[in-house]
Structure 1
Amino acid sequence: MIPHVSRLIELWRIAAHYRLDTLFPAEELPEKARHILSLIRMHPAAWSSKERKNPLKLKQALEDMGPLAIKLGQLLSTRRDLIPPEVLQQLVLLQDRVKPFGSDVAQMRIQESLKADVNTLFARFDEQPLAAASIAQVHTAALHDGREVVVKVTRPNIRQQILQDFEILEWLGHFLEKRLEAARALHLSEIIQDYRQIILKELDLTLEADNTRRMRHYFTGSSMMYVPEVYMDSKDVMVAERITGVPISDVATFDRLGMDRADLAQKGLTIFFTQVFRDNFFHADMHPGNVFVETINPQNPRFIALDCAIMGELSKHDQMTVARMLLAVMNSDFMQLIQIVHQAGWIPPGTDQDALAREMRRTVGPMVSKPMHELDFAGILIEVMDIARRFHLEIPPQLMLLLKTLVHVEGLGTDLYPELDIWSLAKPILTDWVKAQMNPQKNLKELGQKIPDLLLGAQDLPTLMIDSLNGLKNQSAWHAKQLNELQSMRLQMEHQQKRSWIFGSVMAILLSIAIISPWFVSVILIVLASILAIWRVAK
């Protein structure tokens, strides 16, 4: 059953009211997409709509649809290579120019959450929001010691709508998995469930504050990136250091200040690989509204990490798998790539690995040695997903967040410095990291660090062995009991079969005699009945 039909009808009404069917020419869309446009035009809200010529109709429609729609718009806003310029201009505004809520509501939420009056907390609080996004909005303020800060406040009453929308998405995920092999290979339902947890965590600013402090620790003293300090936090409010910089998409400012955009792009890519492999803690929501660049030192600018709500982590096994896969692609060794994927358990038994390697060489091979502006990473991913569908590959859901981040990184890099050679920059970073992981001294050091835990665990070893032996003993006793019961049932069945055979034989004999002499059978039955009655009385 389709969940929240009234919510679906509301989304249909919004799409019709803003005439989203007029955003793209119908002839440029796939056949199935044209049916959706026809459905939008069928709603009565489309008949009297005056929004057809509104240049901001997509932005306003996504705002009315809610946080998840805004998140989708933010993701698409980094894809200048896929989105028409007039549509892209609207999506870019969703990065930090979403419709704000009232300042009085923000101050009330601050006071309730931090348990203090706004005037007690701040020497100055600016009522006009500095930025507004899907989950929260930001106000500038000053502490009583003069430090300039930003105050992030979550939007009121959005949790219920997010939960409803995710129930619809989960239904859609199950629906597609039953009908599309590609959806099953991607574990679409698990991806939606994982993303649901991520978005719900984003509503809790204490988690974002913890992530920001952790990221700040990793990059303390770094010449590549600066992470602001967090001063106060609660579930609905976070107060952090105010920074000076411009969004990474503001290339006009970089050119005006004489910044080296190539060097800046190399720093950004190095930061990404450092987060994924050195720290195993990467920013997974890298749209331009969350990535700024310092302007106070144009000759050696640093990136500024904001909004650390959505972060990604990989297991050690997945880290090594991803690194080795990337190196295999860079070396054009596609048989090695398939072997790595096979070792990771993503290839089902019986797969033609030679054919799979040929397909990967055809799809992924051409992108090696190309500069950033010639890459279509999103298109390559779509082709890789199609290969996964055809060869029944299993793609772990935890890697999908990394792939989403790579789409962001490629989109940002294309704008910043299209000629960037990501392969020549990434290869030494990955090679050094893999060598470090396989260094015997490092492995011995890690083993030495675990020795105290192993020794402490050894104290429990006798107890664990006794428990295990008792468990085996009890299990053996249970199996013996089950075996005895099975044997008893077998004997009963054999006796029953014998009785049935004897009874059947007697009945066959009686039937034969009955045909010859009915009177003789009657006498026999009377005698048997008499014997049975005497036996019961005697008993």
Structure 2
Amino acid sequence: MVPHLTRLLELWRIAAHYRLDTLIPADELPAKARPILKLIRANPAAWSSREKRNPLKLKQALEDMGPLAIKMGQLLSTRRDLIAPEILSQLTLLQDQVKPFAVDVAKARISDAFKADLNTLFQRFDEQPLAAASIAQVHTAALHDGREVVVKVTRPEIRKQILRDFEILTWLGGWLEQRLEAARALHISEIIQEYRAVILNELDLSIEADNTRRMRHYFTGSSMMYVPEVYMDSTDVMVAERITGVPISDTATFDRLGMDRADLAEKGLTIFFTQVFRDNFFHADMHPGNVFVETLNPQSPRYIALDCAIMGELSKADQMTVARMLLAVMNSDFMQLIQIVHQAGWIPPDTDQDGLAREMRRTVGPMVSKPMDQLDFAGILLQIMDIARRFRLEIPPQLMLLLKTLVHVEGLGTDLYPQLDIWKLAKPILTEWVKQQMNPAKNLKELGQQIPDLLLGAQDLPSMLIDSVNGLKNQAVWHDRQIRELQTLRLQVAQQQRRNWIFGSIFIFLLSLAMITPIFIGIIFYILAALVAIWRVMN
């Protein structure tokens, strides 16, 4: 049964009320998607709606639909190459200009979080929100020692809304996996559950505070990025250092201040690869509302990392696989690419590897030879997904967050400096990282660091062997007992079948005599009664 049918009807009503069917002409949509427009128009809310000409109807509709819809809008807001300007202008507002909640509610949540009055916590608290997004809103304030801060407060009742919508997504993911091979290959249900965990973690601002401190530690003293200091935190509130800067999308300010946009784009890409490979801790929600640039020193600007709620990490094996795959693509060695994918266990053993290599060369090859402004990264990604479906590739869910981040990074890079040669910059970084991982001295050093753990584990080896032998012995005894019980049960069943056959034969014989002559009826009655009594005793 469809979960939360009432919620689905509500989403249908919102789409109809804001006339989302009028956003894109029907002839610009794929044929299979056009029935959606008819479905929206069929709702009675569309018949009397006056929102058809509302220039902010998409933004307001996504706000009414809730946090997950806003998150989707934020992701799409980075794709200036795919989204029409009039739609993009609405989605951009979702980065930090979502409808705020009441300031009295925010004040109450802050006081409850820190068990103190606002006057005790702050010298000044500004009631007008500085920004409002899908999960929380931000107010400016000052501590009693004069430090300027921002106070981030989560929205009330948001957890309940997100859990409800994820139940619908979970059902939809299962429904797709039952019907589409591509959905099964991509592990849609697992991806939804992982994203659910990520979003629920984002609701806990103490996790974001810990992530921010960790990121700040990695980039302490960096000339490329600055991470604000966190002063206070709880589950629902975080108080952090206020920074001065502009969003990464504010290219007009960069030009006005004379910033080198090419240098800024290269810094951003270097930061991304540093996070993924050096730190194995990357920002996975890089829309323009979360990535700022300092304006205090236009000649050598730094990035400012905000909203470290959604962070990604890869296993060592996945790190090495991703690095080797990227290097294979940069070298146009697609047979090597397929071998790496095969070694990672992502393709079935009977796959036509030559055919797969040809498809990857045709699809991915243009990525190396063209500048970013001529690439349709999202389109290439969709083609790769189609190849994964046709060749039954198993794409690990833990890499989907990295792919989502790559979509963000590529979108931001295209906007900032379209001529950026991503491969020329990335190749030396990846080559050096792979060399370091393959360095025998480094591997011996890591092995040496593990020796104490190995020695401690060796002390437990005899008892583990004894436990294993005893386990096997007990298992053998249990199997013998099970076999004896099965043999006894089979003997009892055979005896019962013989008794049933004997008594059944006697019953049929006596019954046939009774049918021949009535004189035997009384005798047969007593015989049958005696037989029933004997049968009950024997059973």
Cα deviation, 1:415-441, whole Å, max 9, x if unaligned, reads 000000000111111111111111111
Aligned to 2:81: 81
CA contact 1:123–1:144 (8 Å) conserved in 2? yes
**Unmatched 5+ stretches in structure 2:** 510-526, 535-539
- TM-score of the aligned structures, taking structure 2 as reference length: 0.91
Three-state SS of the structure 1 residue aligned to 2:369 is coil
CA contact 1:291–1:303 (8 Å) conserved in 2? yes
Three-state SS of the structure 2 residue aligned to 1:149 is strand
> What letter is aligned with 2:360?
M
Aligned to 1:525: none
Three-state SS of the structure 1 residue aligned to 2:49 is coil
Three-state SS of the structure 2 residue aligned to 1:2 is coil
Aligned to 1:522: none
Aligned to 2:14: 14
CA distance in 1, matches of 2:347, 2:109: 51
Three-state SS of the structure 2 residue aligned to 1:95 is coil
CA distance in 2, matches of 1:375, 1:312: 25
Aligned to 1:407: 407
The answer to whether 1:276 aligns with 2:276 is yes
- Relative distance call for 1:151 and 1:488 in structure 2 (3 A) is same
Deviation for aligned residue 1:488: 6.0
The answer to whether 1:67 aligns with 2:71 is no
CA contact 1:152–1:239 (8 Å) conserved in 2? yes
Aligned to 1:239: 239
Aligned to 1:419: 419
User: Aligned runs of 1:25-424 on 2, under 5 Å?
Assistant: 25-424=25-424
CA distance in 2, matches of 1:484, 1:13: 66
Deviation for aligned residue 1:459: 2.3
Three-state SS of the structure 2 residue aligned to 1:141 is strand
Three-state SS of the structure 2 residue aligned to 1:238 is strand
CA distance in 2, matches of 1:485, 1:443: 55
CA contact 1:369–1:421 (8 Å) conserved in 2? no
Which has the higher mean CA deviation after the structures are superposed, 343-352 or 56-65? 343-352
CA distance in 2, matches of 1:63, 1:486: 64
> What letter is aligned with 2:285?
D
CA distance in 2, matches of 1:286, 1:463: 50
CA distance in 2, matches of 1:315, 1:439: 19
Three-state SS of the structure 1 residue aligned to 2:243 is coil
CA contact 1:14–1:65 (8 Å) conserved in 2? yes
Deviation for aligned residue 1:484: 4.3
- Relative distance call for 1:493 and 1:125 in structure 2 (3 A) is closer
Deviation for aligned residue 1:496: 10
Deviation for aligned residue 1:485: 4.7
> What letter is aligned with 1:410?
E
Aligned to 2:2: 2
Deviation for aligned residue 1:349: 2.4
> What letter is aligned with 1:448?
G
The percent of aligned pairs where both chains have the same amino acid is: 83
> What letter is aligned with 1:254?
F
> What letter is aligned with 1:99?
K
Aligned to 1:469: 469
Deviation for aligned residue 1:495: 9.3
> What letter is aligned with 1:369?
S
Three-state SS of the structure 2 residue aligned to 1:419 is coil
CA contact 1:369–1:423 (8 Å) conserved in 2? no
Deviation for aligned residue 1:489: 6.7
CA distance in 2, matches of 1:144, 1:161: 36
**Unmatched 5+ stretches in structure 1:** 512-528
Deviation for aligned residue 1:461: 2.0
Cα deviation, 1:348-403, whole Å, max 9, x if unaligned, reads 12111111111111111111132111111111110000011111111111100000
CA distance in 2, matches of 1:490, 1:132: 72
CA contact 1:228–1:305 (8 Å) conserved in 2? yes
> What letter is aligned with 2:298?
P
Aligned to 2:524: none
CA distance in 2, matches of 1:154, 1:162: 13
* Pairs aligned (count): 519
CA distance in 2, matches of 1:166, 1:180: 20
Aligned to 1:24: 24
Alpha-carbon RMSD across the aligned residues, in angstroms, is 2.6
CA distance in 2, matches of 1:235, 1:88: 33
> What letter is aligned with 2:166?
F
Deviation for aligned residue 1:13: 0.9
CA distance in 2, matches of 1:375, 1:337: 21
Cα deviation, 1:243-265, whole Å, max 9, x if unaligned, reads 01000000111111111111110
CA distance in 2, matches of 1:225, 1:104: 35
CA distance in 1, matches of 2:209, 2:488: 66
